[in-house]
Every structure is written in C-alpha cells, then in structure tokens.
Amino acid sequence: MSKKIRIATTSLAGCFGCHMSFLDIDERLTQLAEAVEFNRSPITDIKQCSACDIGLIEGGVCNADNVHVLREFRDQCKMLVAVGACAINGGLPAMRNEVPLEECLTEAYIDGIGIENPVIPNDPELPLLLNKVHPIHEIVTIDYFLPGCPPSADEFWAFLSDIIAGQEPVLATELIHFD
Amino acid sequence: MTGYFKLDGRSIPFQPGQTIIQAAADADVYIPHLCYHPDFTPHGSCKLCSVQVNGRICSACTFPASDGLEVLSETSDLNARRQKITQMLFVEGNHFCPYCEKSGNCQLQAVAYHVKMLDSHFPHFFPQRPLDATHPDVLLDYDRCIFCALCVRASQEADGKNVFALSGRNINKHLIINSESGTLKDSDIAAEDKAVEVCPTGALLRRGQAYKTPIGQRQYDHQDIEQVSLQQEKAHDV
C-alpha cells in the first residue's frame, strides 16, 4: 500500500466554521481516512507540525502567534492551502481594519456596556495583536485557495479527491462561492 | 455602416452605430463587463471588456464595430488580464461577501466567479471609507463602490436627476453626492430610481430588502453571469 497523504490543519483568526464544514463531508470521511493521515490539527490535538504533504489554513492573521503558526506550516507543508474567506481576504475579522487597534481594545475592554474592572488584557502569554488583520497570502506563499464562508463540504471533497487521485485540483465553477 | 467582423473566429453582424459589445450580445456572445449597461452611454472604465482588435487591446463597450475587424476575446491572455482586473477591484475596496447583503446578486462577485477568481492575489488596501446611512430608503456603502459610474449615468439619463458624480484620483477617488450636506438624505435620490437599481455591487442598496431572498437562491448562485447577462440583453431588445 502506498504511503498515506499527510495533512495538517489549523484555524488562525477564524471561527472553526471551515473545519466544521470539512467534517460535513460526512461518510466520505471513511474514504478520506483510508488515503490520508492527520498531523497537527484540532482533530488530532498534535501541537507541532512535522513534514506534511498538505496544510489547510483557516482564518486570517491577526496576531503574532498566527504569524508564527503560519510560518511553521509553510516550512513543513509541501502544499499550503488558504481555506475560506478569512484566510483569503481577512474576512469578518478584517472588519476591524477600519478602526484603529487602540479604539477596538478600548471599546471591548474599557468603554463597552456592562464591563466590570475595565482593563486591557496584558498577560505575557497572550499573543500581541497586529494593527490589521491580513490575508495569509500577504505573509507566506500560498499554493491553492478554497473560497467560501465556509467552503462547502463538496468543495473540500472535490479538492481532496483530486489530491488523492494525484491530480492538480481544479474547482468547478458551481463550487466557487464567496459567501 | 453594417457588415461583419470576426470575433474569436466567428462572423458577427452589426447594425449602424453599434459597438463591439452590443453586436456581440446580439449574436449571443458574452464579453465580461461591469461598467457597461445597454441602457446607458458607455464609460469604458472597468476594462473587463477589453478585447484585442486587430492586435491592439481596446474596450469592447466603446469600440465601434466595423467591417472586417479581427477581434479576439476568449483568449487565455485576455482572461488572465480580466482575472487580475477583478482581483484589483476587490483589493482596492472592502468587498467582504459573507456580510454583504448583495451577495449572490452582485455582478462584481459573479464576474469573479466567471473568471474563476479564487483569491485576491494582491495585498489588500483596506481603505477607510464612510457609510452613508442618512437616507431612510437608500443606503450607500462606499466600501463597495467600484467607480463604474453607472449610478452617475442612470441618475442623469434615466431618472432625470443629477445625484452622483465621481471625484478625486487614485486611491482617493470617490463617489460624491449632489446635495448641500453631501449626504443622501438631502439629495433627490429615491429608492425606485434606476441609479440605485443599476449598481453592480452592494454599494447602493434599497433598504429593507436585505435577506428577503435567502443566500443560495439568488441570481448568480446557480447561474453564470454569462447566461444571466445574455438573457437580460434579449429582454432589453424586446
């Protein structure tokens, strides 16, 4: 039996909706399990990425840790895939790009309605926020894109089926949606 | 002058005064476009309808059809250029389809699907642009304006008003409103104006419509803009 395709996944500034949609391939998961194995991913709880064939990145880049994780994936994955609207163009989190970061934090932790003990969190374990949320192609080279919010299960499956079959992935037009 | 020109090797007849895009549409050939609308004076600004005419790149919406022209449209080079132009339109504004109520009915999005745009390729500008929510019936979200000037033309040519104009250059280019305060509430705009209807993106919206048609059941959700556009051209001719 040939070697299994090794996949890593992560969610950066995302909502895990893309991961949930990925799981919506339902019974096709058993077919997938025969052909692939998962490395670093919320599915395995492995914390460090080792050499992989494919890295699926959900979410944009909003803090220093996101940059670190994204670079780790780029170093380890032969093919890096931007999954979903947030990874591709920043998505909903990028709505904050129109507001200065200080104003965002002040509204969320100081001036917002019903806030007790107003203080902007400053624990050294918390990754520092970037001034803006960025699509991941602005940080590292991306090899393929799966648009959608989230990409549909069929879109995931079309992509993965092509990869498993050893073909270059091509999305049919009806699978391309940005919403 | 009537006659025929060649479009991707096919012979296309034209009527006197027709442009390449008009004659092509009459012959059921779609050339991607955003700032062109059959009802209004062509603007030639979005450049999506760029075609090669006798070897030179021109806008099909402004170039007059004439006998014997050799026109190329569906080439890999022109389609790659169209995809890059669409990507530039996306990064220049703030186009976030998942939270735009025009999603599925948006021509910018539909053209992006048509040219198989999967990503935005370029770094995003994330420009800071205001929202004009001053009018009770019409919303103007400057984030989504692509400066096609269709509202400018529709307001003048169809509505008999003069509500909009374009001002400024480069990244500072923006739509301006002809009113004392510069906002919609003091302008002559009305919800039923053609200027609102004709907006190809979610920049000008009739308020209170929002999600009456659910996402997934909208115009371009299951139909390529090529088919929709040609059907509309046919209805227009009738």
pLDDT tens for each residue of B102-161: 999 999 999 999 999 999 999 999 999 999 999 999 999 999 999 999 999 999 999 999
Which residue ranges make up each domain of chain B? 3-74, 99-219
Pick the CATH number of B99-219 from 3.40.50.150, 3.40.640.10, 3.30.70.20, 3.40.50.880: 3.30.70.20
Predicted pLDDT at B235 = 83
Helix (H) or strand (E) holding A34: helix A28-35
pLDDT tens for chain A, residues 1 to 179: 468 999 999 999 999 999 999 999 999 999 999 999 999 999 999 999 999 999 999 999 999 999 999 999 999 999 999 999 999 999 999 999 999 999 999 999 999 999 999 999 999 999 999 999 999 999 999 999 999 999 999 999 999 999 999 999 999 988 999 99
CATH no., domain A5-94+131-175: 3.40.50.700
Retrieve residue B31's tokens.
Answer: 């050339």
Give the number of beta-carbon pairs within 8 Å between A and B: 78
Length, in residues, of chain A: 179
Residue B190 contacts residue B137 (beta carbons within 8 Å): yes
Q: Identify the DSSP state of A60.
A: B
Cα distance from N-terminal residue to C-terminal residue, chain B: 23
Look at strands B131-132 and B138-141 and give their pairing: antiparallel
Residue B126 to residue A90, Cβ atoms within 8 A: yes
Quote the minimal CA–CA distance from A40 to chain B in Å.
Answer: 25
**For testing the chain A interface, which of B87, B95, B97 should be mutated: the one with the most A CBs within 10 Å?**
B97
CATH no., domain B3-74: 3.10.20.740
Tens of pLDDT along B37-56? 999 999 999 999 999 999 99
Length, in residues, of chain B: 238
Please, which pLDDT band fits residue B237 given cuts at 50, 70 and 90? confident
Radius of gyration in angstroms for the set of CA atoms belonging to chain B, rounded to a whole number: 18
CB contacts, 8 Å: A176 with chain B: 113, 116-118
Amino acid in position B154: A
Please name the residue ranges forming H helices in A45-124.
64-76, 84-89, 101-106
Q: How far apart are CA B8 and CA B14, in angstroms?
A: 15
Please name the residue ranges forming H helices in B94-192.
107-114, 150-157
Chain B residue nearest residue A172, CA to CA: B116
B220 to A146, B84, B135, B162: CA distances (angstroms): 19, 21, 28, 30
Q: How far apart are CA B233 and CA B39, in angstroms?
A: 10
Please, which pLDDT band fits residue B238 given cuts at 50, 70 and 90? confident
Mean pLDDT over B157-170 rounds to 96
Q: How far apart are CA A62 and CA A128, in angstroms?
A: 9
Question: Which residues is A80 bridged to in the sheet?
Answer: A55
Residue A90 to residue B124, Cβ atoms within 8 A: yes
Predicted pLDDT at A2 = 63
For B98-124, give the secondary structure using H, E and C.
Answer: HHCCCCCCCHHHHHHHHCCCCCCCCCC
Residue B118 to residue A92, Cβ atoms within 8 A: no
Burial of A150 by CB count in 10 Å (0-12 exposed, 13-18 middle, 19+ buried)?
A: buried
Which residue ranges make up each domain of chain A? 5-94+131-175
Please, which pLDDT band fits residue B210 given cuts at 50, 70 and 90? confident
Quote the minimal CA–CA distance from A89 to chain B in Å.
Answer: 7
Q: How far apart are CA B200 and CA A150, in angstroms?
A: 24
Strands (E), chain A: 5-11, 36-38, 52-58, 61-63, 77-83, 129-134, 144-146
Residue B112 to residue A178, Cβ atoms within 8 A: yes
CB contacts, 8 Å: A60 with chain B: none
Tens of pLDDT along B3-15? 999 999 999 999 9
Tens of pLDDT along B61-101? 999 999 999 999 999 999 999 999 999 999 999 999 999 99
Residue A135 to residue B113, Cβ atoms within 8 A: no
